[in-house]
């Protein structure tokens, strides 16, 4: 769909303010262009010595100007409502679509680029609206009035002006195309600069750890040099545009005046008509330049706005089912049926992965870094769909459930939890907006959040910083666990959820976790991913993963008996303290 059509779709959603505002504007534009006629009529009146009539004409002209101004302002006032409302609608729709996009999109996106693109798109919409619905309309009406006057006077004037305008617009069209291309090239460079800025802001600590400020500055300078060069090239297109197009318009103005003087000399027109033609030409033809400036502006905005609206075309790769199914009596059984999975780089991360997890069972996933443990968690949440094979919950394929429902059933405490730049309380209550204050505080207590909250100046009202940077890794983990305890999902996935905690806090939190999981009235199915084997010994079964496949499976006792097995190796490494004191990470 063209940008134009798309925008009008949004504008038309609020059609009444648009129509009601446009009517007074159009009338005002017509009235505004009557000045040359008054020049003509006044000249005739003065030439005929009808001075009273001339005064009347001046008064009428004044009244018309007043009415025109009033109508214009009323029109602007009403259409502004339409413009701002439509802009809000677009912003909301774009953000909603971005929310609906999948993990794959979000891992590939650059927030910096996206922000500058959205900002440019937003600004462009206002300019686009103003240019088309006001400037263009105004000029179109002005020219229509002029053409009407010329056509009545002498067809030759109309043809001459029309021909020159056509040539100018044609030349302008080609020049604008070059202008847009340069603009697009500049936008790319601008996006890269913006992306580098955000990357630097987000990773400021990494830059400092490595004392790489100089390196970053030189990287940034290189991008800025390209930015600079592209901007200059873009500006240059304005120079030849103004040179060529400006002089074509000058030629049209001089040409029409030449014709009018010639006809006056030959007495083919009278002085009053001569003045009509010159007033029209001198006021309107320079406006032609404005029209072309607006056209160029429009072209520029067109690029910005079409990239913005293209966001709405981003495909959702993990779509909701058309006919979703519901789980009526949730048990929490999970089964993986011959699941293969590859990220975009196409290398299989999970190979022929099959696993049946019973309702209420606690499964531990262990294995070397990169074995695919977190990937298993992401697939259960449907962050991605398997390349082949199926994942089912209570016998229903998860791609037959609405993503929202699925994600309410499954709760994950991620490996590296990120928080909103808001209060501690907000971040915990985020898991369940309906929870009472008591419930939030109880979850916080169970996850040992209250032990460090006491030391914070504003307690639960402390702001945690962007992504939670003002908290320690272990504190962030405790907040993430509190969220999960508050949400109490039927299926719980703990991905290295306590890896940054000291042993004492870990034990207390583990207790809270097992209390929830082993709750006799409503047991939960759980998957615990951990490198520290001491934390998973209580699991019903331990699944050892190796290179995307299940290498071993069994209880802790069974697996440590298995000579030459991976688990036995890992266990003895941790027990014998080869790495740390038997509790450290592998
Ligand atoms: N978004 C991604 N795009 C491409 N490849 C990815 C992505 N996420 C993970 N991988 C790759 O998939 C493989 C499995 O990663 P995964 O995060 O599942 O490992 P893991 O077993 O959880 O490791 P760890 O113990 O270090 O957390 C790794 O080789 C990793 O590089
Ligand atoms: Mg992981």
378/247 same-domain check: no
Ligand 1 pocket, residue 499 CB under 6 Å: no
Q: Quote the domain boundaries for residue 495.
A: 334-575
Last residue of a domain, one of 313, 344, 371: 313
Query: Would you say residue 322 lies in a domain?
Result: no
- 339 token code pair: 């699941």
Q: Is the CB of 374 under 6 A from ligand 1?
A: yes
Q: Are 21 and 140 contained in the same domain? A: yes
pLDDT at 1: 62
Residue 585 lies in a domain: no
539 and 421 in a single domain? The answer is yes
Q: Is 379 in the pocket of ligand 1 (CB under 6 A)?
A: no
Q: Which ligand is nearest to the CA of 531?
A: 1
Relative to the alpha carbon of 379, which ligand is closest? 1
Task: Using the atom order of ligand 1, give the atom closest to the CA of residue 107.
Answer: 1
DSSP H helices, 266-311, are 271-310
Residues 6+ apart with CB under 8 A from 29: 72, 137, 138, 141, 142
CA of 15 to the centre of ligand 1 (A): 50
Q: Let me know whether 299 and 345 are in one domain.
A: no
Is 369 a pocket residue for ligand 1 (Cβ < 6 Å)? yes
One domain, residues 368 and 286: no
What is the residue-level pLDDT of the chain in tens, covering all 586 positions? 688 888 888 999 999 999 999 999 999 999 999 999 999 999 999 999 999 999 999 999 999 999 999 999 999 999 999 999 999 999 999 999 988 888 778 877 778 788 888 988 989 999 989 988 888 889 889 989 999 999 999 999 999 999 998 999 899 889 888 988 898 899 899 989 988 888 888 888 888 888 888 888 998 999 999 999 999 999 999 898 889 988 999 999 999 999 999 999 999 999 999 999 999 999 888 888 788 878 878 877 888 898 899 888 888 888 899 999 999 899 999 999 999 999 987 889 999 999 999 999 999 999 988 999 999 999 999 999 999 999 999 999 999 999 989 998 999 998 888 888 899 999 999 988 888 999 999 989 888 888 888 888 888 898 988 888 888 888 898 899 999 889 889 999 999 888 888 888 888 888 888 888 888 888 899 999 988 888 888 899 999 999 999 999 999 999 989 888 899 988 888 875 444 333 434 4
Atom of ligand 1 nearest to the CA of 496: 27
Q: Are 464 and 427 in contact (CB under 8 A)?
A: yes
- In terms of domains, do 394 and 307 share one? no
Q: Is the CB of 371 under 6 A from ligand 1?
A: yes
Position 19 scores a pLDDT of: 94
d(CA 38, CA 415): 78
Say how many Å lie between the CA of residue 389 and the centre of ligand 1: 19
Query: Residues 271, 347: one domain?
Result: no
CATH of the domain at 496: 3.40.50.300
Whether residues 266 and 373 fall in one domain: no
**Does residue 346 sit in the same domain as residue 200?**
no
Do 401 and 290 lie in a common domain? no
Spacing, Cα 370 to ligand 1 middle (Å): 5
Kindly report the protein residue whose alpha carbon is nearest to atom 2 of ligand 1: 343
**What's the CATH number where 32 sits?**
1.20.1560.10
Is residue 59 included in any domain, yes or no? yes
Ligand nearest the Cα of residue 104 is 1
326 is a domain residue: no
547, part of any domain: yes
Q: Which amino acid residue places its CA nearest to atom 25 of ligand 1?
A: 369
Question: What pLDDT is stored for residue 576 in this prediction?
Answer: 59
- Asked if residue 253 and residue 160 are part of one domain, the reply reads yes
| Secondary structure (3-state) at 197 | helix
Whose CA is closest to atom 16 on ligand 1? 372
Q: What's the total number of domains in the chain?
A: 2
Cα 440 from Cα 237, distance rounded (Å): 60
pLDDT of residue 240: 87
SS3 365: strand
* Pocket lining: 415 vs ligand 1, CB cutoff 6 Å: yes
């Amino acid at each position: 769909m063209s940008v134009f059509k798309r925008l009008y779709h949004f504008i038309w959603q609020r059609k009444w303010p648009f129509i009601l505002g446009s009517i007074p504007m159009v009338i005002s534009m017509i009235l505004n262009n009557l000045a040359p006629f008054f020049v003509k009529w006044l000249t005739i009146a003065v030439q005929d010595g009808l001075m009273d009539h001339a005064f009347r004409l001046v008064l009428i002209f004044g009244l018309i100007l007043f009415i025109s101004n009033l109508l214009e302002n009323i029109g602007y006032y009403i259409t502004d409502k339409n413009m701002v409302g439509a802009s809000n609608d677009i912003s909301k729709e774009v953000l909603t679509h971005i929310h609906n996009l999948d993990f794959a999109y979000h891992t590939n996106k650059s927030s910096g680029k996206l922000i500058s693109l959205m900002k440019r798109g937003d600004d462009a919409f206002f300019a686009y609206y103003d240019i088309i619905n006001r400037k263009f309309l105004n000029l179109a009406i002005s020219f229509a009035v002029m053409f009407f006057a010329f056509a009545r006077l002498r067809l030759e004037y109309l043809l001459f002006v029309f021909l020159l305008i056509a040539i100018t617009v044609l030349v302008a069209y080609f020049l604008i195309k070059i202008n847009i291309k340069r603009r697009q090239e500049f936008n790319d460079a601008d996006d890269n600069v913006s992306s580098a800025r955000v990357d630097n802001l987000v990773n400021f600590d990494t830059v400092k750890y490595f004392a790489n400020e100089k390196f970053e500055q030189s990287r940034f300078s290189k991008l800025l040099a390209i930015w600079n060069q592209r901007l200059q090239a873009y500006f240059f297109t304005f120079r030849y545009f103004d040179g060529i197009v400006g002089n074509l318009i000058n030629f049209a103005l001089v040409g029409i005046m030449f014709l009018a003087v010639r006809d006056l000399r030959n007495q083919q027109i009278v002085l009053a008509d001569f003045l009509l033609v010159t007033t029209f030409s001198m006021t309107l033809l320079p406006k032609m330049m404005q029209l072309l400036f607006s056209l160029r502006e429009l072209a520029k905005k067109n690029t910005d706005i079409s990239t913005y609206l293209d966001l709405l075309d981003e495909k959702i790769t993990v779509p909701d089912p058309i006919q979703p199914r519901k789980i009526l009596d949730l048990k929490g059984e999970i089964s993986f049926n011959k699941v293969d999975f590859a990220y975009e780089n196409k290398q299989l991360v999970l190979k022929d992965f099959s696993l049946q997890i019973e309702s209420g069972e606690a499964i531990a996933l262990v294995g070397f870094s990169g074995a695919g443990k977190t990937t298993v968690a992401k697939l259960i949440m449907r962050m991605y769909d398997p390349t082949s094979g199926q994942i089912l919950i209570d016998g229903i394929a998860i791609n037959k459930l609405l993503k929202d429902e699925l994600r309410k059933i499954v709760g994950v405490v991620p490996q590296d939890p990120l928080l909103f730049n808001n209060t501690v309380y907000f971040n915990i209550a985020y898991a369940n907006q309906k929870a009472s204050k008591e419930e939030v505080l109880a979850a916080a207590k169970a996850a040992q959040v209250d032990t460090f909250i006491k030391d914070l100046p504003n307690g639960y009202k402390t702001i945690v910083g962007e992504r939670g940077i003002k908290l320690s890794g272990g504190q962030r983990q405790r907040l993430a666990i509190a969220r999960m305890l508050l949400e109490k999902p039927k299926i719980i996935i703990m991905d290295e959820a306590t890896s940054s905690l000291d042993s004492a806090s870990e034990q207390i939190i583990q207790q809270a976790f097992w209390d929830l999981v082993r709750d006799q009235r409503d047991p939960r199915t759980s998957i615990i991913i951990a490198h520290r084997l001491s934390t998973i010994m209580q699991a019903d079964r331990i699944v050892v993963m190796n290179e995307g496949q299940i290498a071993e499976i069994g209880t802790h006792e069974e697996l440590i008996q298995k000579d030459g097995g991976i688990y036995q190796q890992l266990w003895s490494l941790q027990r014998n303290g080869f790495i740390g004191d038997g509790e450290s990470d592998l």
